Structure 1
Amino acid sequence: MTALSIVIPVYNGAGTIERLVHELAKLHIPDGVELVLVNDGSADDSWKVIQRLCTTAPMPIIAIDLARNFGEHNAVMAGYAAATGCYIMNIDDDFQNPPSEVVKLYEYARANPDLDVVYTRYEEKHHSLFRNLGSRFNDVMARFMIDKPKGLYLSSFRCINRFLRDRVVQYTGPYPYIDGLILENTRRIGRLTVQHAPRTEGKSGYTLRKLIRHWLMMFVNFSVMPLRISSFIGAMFSIVGFVMAMVAVYERFFKDTPQGWASIVSVVLVFAGIQLLTLGLIGEYLGRLYLMQRGKPQYAVRTTMVASIKDQGHA
């Protein structure tokens, strides 16, 4: 069995993936390393570059071409399913995680066999302000929704052991959230400080739409807390409504207070908004259950290539 599998989800990474692979090939990992490159429906020539790497790169490569863009977490799940290593590591294709830190993370994980996962944290992050704010909000919500340990940074640059990999890939639903799956299965978590480099090419695909999708995966897939919150809010508004009704009855019979339609309409709109929000939340849960029952795929693999060093013409 290979010592380390490095899973790299590739999305429009034609300009960086070849250089990244050659940098990783220079690293010395005892007992071998394989790359699992997952092309997540890239609109550029990423798959052509990956195909060429399968014949030229001096290291074993498993190349997976997904039928369309399924999202980063789905692509990582495809990579996990194909990985054969004792340890499985994630790294992005944008060079913000320097390849030299791969050895540092792997050696730390191997030196601490009692840990199932090692998350990295950065001395200094080189993300945009929007992404940093999104990450901060996500951190707060993760502590509240999925019981994330305090002080743990959920970085995508992580290393898991074979046991945890086997547990994570058992999830076959269409909306995977890797960190949620990890925290569901283990509390043996390590932390390692690493370097974080500025982006050298292209721009981040981190958008508000993807951020909302990420939050929904966390909230709906791994917690019933939103339903409990909506129930609590509903109960509080019911109490407020009852008190307001009593006040209205009192003023109607004991005070000469004119009854205005504006206050009534405002109250109705508030309650209607709360009801619609709660119905939408319930609908999100039911919709995801329906899609899971219908068999919506987590990902669809169009092509898989497996290239060993021998296949690439190396001794």
Structure 2
Amino acid sequence: MLHSIIIPCYKSSQTIREVVELTSAELDRLGRPDYEFILVDDYSPDDGATLKELRSLAADYPFVKAISLAKNSGQHNAVMAGLNYAQGDLLIAMDDDMQTHPSQLHFLLEEIEKGYDIVYGYYPDKKHSTFRNFGSFLNYITVRILIGKPKDMKTSSYWVIRKFVRDYVIQYQSPYTHLQGLFLRTTRNISCVPIKHFEREVGQSGYTLKKLIQLYSNIMGYSVVPLRLSTYCGYFFSILSILGALIIVIRKLVNPMMALGWPSMMCAICFFSGLIMLFMGTIGEYLGRMFLGMNKQPQFVVREVISQNSTAAAIQDTANTPDTATSVEPVLPTETISAKNSCEPSDNE
């Protein structure tokens, strides 16, 4: 059984080699010698240091394949790129910062052997910052409300899925990827196991407030709850306005000298105008995503695929044509990937 370990990399030149080597040693210890690593460089802004380290790993280990993206696509889209290139029967996602530690991998693998389709590792004691923990809580509430995530289901960016789940997930073409939403609409045979959360060894999280908001907004593509909420709010405020009008009429009949207030009227106008604009924006967000989807905005654009096999092929081609410079061309294994990258280009839990 082949195991594919997918790791999105973002400014991880100081940690990714240790992650790969420890994970490889752990899989060997568990008696699972068949594995591959799919390392996706999400256009790290570190002057090529991360990509250089990925090239070195691909040169040192035949089981490592590095993918270089032409622009930053976000963590979930980077994982989608890795899923498209992975060939394993079990697919494992990890982070590049040693927080999703290889020593905890056996808990996930033991759990999926019980027959589950997806297994998440979750952290009873998180080592994130207060800001990131708040973001995780916000994500939990959002997913619970919008797509009906089970109350006892706890998630993280450390998970194992079966090949058939991957096969369905990569059919999703939109750039607004939210992996929890895709997993939940594929299967509900999901489990989670508690694991230890380790401290980040180097640097800090690449998630800013803006990126967290963008990630959470992606869940809109898997639910019509926001549109229904606008309808319910419309009903509520319509009834409220009718009741308010009746109260004003009754008070005017009881006290004909009562003056109607201009400030209260302006407050009401501003409030309801803001509410209308809010829901128009929600509807516009859906329409905009439909428009971008019809224009086939790609999830990711692969600049280069680096492995010992592709490098050997490039060297052989160069030997046949001595005047041609050696290069490593992207290798697109399926038609799905070709479609995702045929357009111009457009950081979990």
Q: Which whole-Å CA distance do the structure 2 matches of 1:239 and 1:294 have between them?
A: 41
Q: Who is 1:37 aligned against?
A: 39
- Extract unaligned runs of 5+ from structure 2: 313-349
Q: Which whole-Å CA distance do the structure 2 matches of 1:180 and 1:25 have between them?
A: 30
SS in 2 for 1:26: helix
- Extract unaligned runs of 5+ from structure 1: none
Question: TM-score, length-normalised on structure 2?
Answer: 0.84
Q: Who is 1:212 aligned against?
A: 213
Q: Who is 1:88 aligned against?
A: 91
Q: 1:173–1:298: 8 Å Cα contact kept in structure 2?
A: yes
1:109-188 equivalences under 5 Å are: 109=112, 111-112=113-114, 114-188=115-189
Q: Which whole-Å CA distance do the structure 1 matches of 2:32 and 2:235 have between them?
A: 59
Taking every aligned residue pair, what percent have the same amino acid on both sides? 38
Q: Who is 1:60 aligned against?
A: 63
SS in 1 for 2:250: helix
Q: Deviations over 1:197-251 (max 9, x none)?
A: 0111101122211221122111x11110011111111111111112222223333
Give yes or no for the alignment of 1:243 onto 2:243: yes
Q: Which whole-Å CA distance do the structure 2 matches of 1:35 and 1:99 have between them?
A: 13
1:264-283 equivalences under 5 Å are: 264-283=265-284
Q: Which whole-Å CA distance do the structure 2 matches of 1:106 and 1:179 have between them?
A: 19
Q: Which whole-Å CA distance do the structure 1 matches of 2:208 and 2:308 have between them?
A: 34
Q: Which whole-Å CA distance do the structure 2 matches of 1:140 and 1:15 have between them?
A: 34
Number of residue-to-residue matches in the alignment: 305
Bigger Cα displacement from structure 2, 136-145 vs 221-230: 136-145
Q: Which residue of the other structure, out of 43, 46, 49, is the alignment partner of 2:53?
A: 49
Q: Who is 1:284 aligned against?
A: 285
SS in 2 for 1:140: helix
Residue 56 of structure 1 aligns with an amino acid whose one-letter code is D
Bigger Cα displacement from structure 2, 243-252 vs 77-86: 243-252
SS in 1 for 2:307: strand
Q: Which whole-Å CA distance do the structure 1 matches of 2:165 and 2:216 have between them?
A: 23
Q: How much has 1:12 moved relative to structure 2?
A: 0.9
Q: 2:40–2:78: 8 Å Cα contact kept in structure 1?
A: yes
Q: Who is 1:233 aligned against?
A: 233
Q: Deviations over 1:146-184 (max 9, x none)?
A: 111112112110000001111111111111111100000
Q: How much has 1:40 moved relative to structure 2?
A: 0.4
Residue 142 of structure 2 aligns with an amino acid whose one-letter code is M
Distance 1:204 1:144, change over 3 A: same
SS in 2 for 1:150: coil
Q: How much has 1:24 moved relative to structure 2?
A: 2.1
Residue 122 of structure 2 aligns with an amino acid whose one-letter code is R
Provide the alpha-carbon RMSD of the alignment. 1.6
Q: How much has 1:81 moved relative to structure 2?
A: 0.5
SS in 2 for 1:119: strand
Q: Deviations over 1:97-149 (max 9, x none)?
A: 1112223322332x22x211001112321111111121122212211111111
Q: 1:36–1:82: 8 Å Cα contact kept in structure 2?
A: yes
Q: Who is 1:19 aligned against?
A: 18
Q: Who is 1:298 aligned against?
A: 299
Q: Which whole-Å CA distance do the structure 2 matches of 1:259 and 1:35 have between them?
A: 71
Q: Deviations over 1:288-313 (max 9, x none)?
A: 000000111011000012336x97xx
Q: How much has 1:31 moved relative to structure 2?
A: 4.4
Q: Which whole-Å CA distance do the structure 2 matches of 1:107 and 1:306 have between them?
A: 30
Q: 1:234–1:274: 8 Å Cα contact kept in structure 2?
A: no
Q: Which whole-Å CA distance do the structure 2 matches of 1:140 and 1:37 have between them?
A: 31
Q: How much has 1:271 moved relative to structure 2?
A: 0.7
SS in 1 for 2:5: strand
Q: Which whole-Å CA distance do the structure 2 matches of 1:122 and 1:250 have between them?
A: 58
Q: Who is 2:337 aligned against?
A: none
Q: Who is 2:198 aligned against?
A: 197
Q: Deviations over 1:277-298 (max 9, x none)?
A: 0000001000000000011101
Residue 189 of structure 2 aligns with an amino acid whose one-letter code is R
Residue 224 of structure 1 aligns with an amino acid whose one-letter code is V
Residue 60 of structure 2 aligns with an amino acid whose one-letter code is T
Q: 2:59–2:307: 8 Å Cα contact kept in structure 1?
A: no
Q: 2:55–2:66: 8 Å Cα contact kept in structure 1?
A: yes
Q: Which whole-Å CA distance do the structure 2 matches of 1:18 and 1:161 have between them?
A: 26
SS in 2 for 1:185: coil
Q: Which whole-Å CA distance do the structure 1 matches of 2:265 and 2:248 have between them?
A: 10
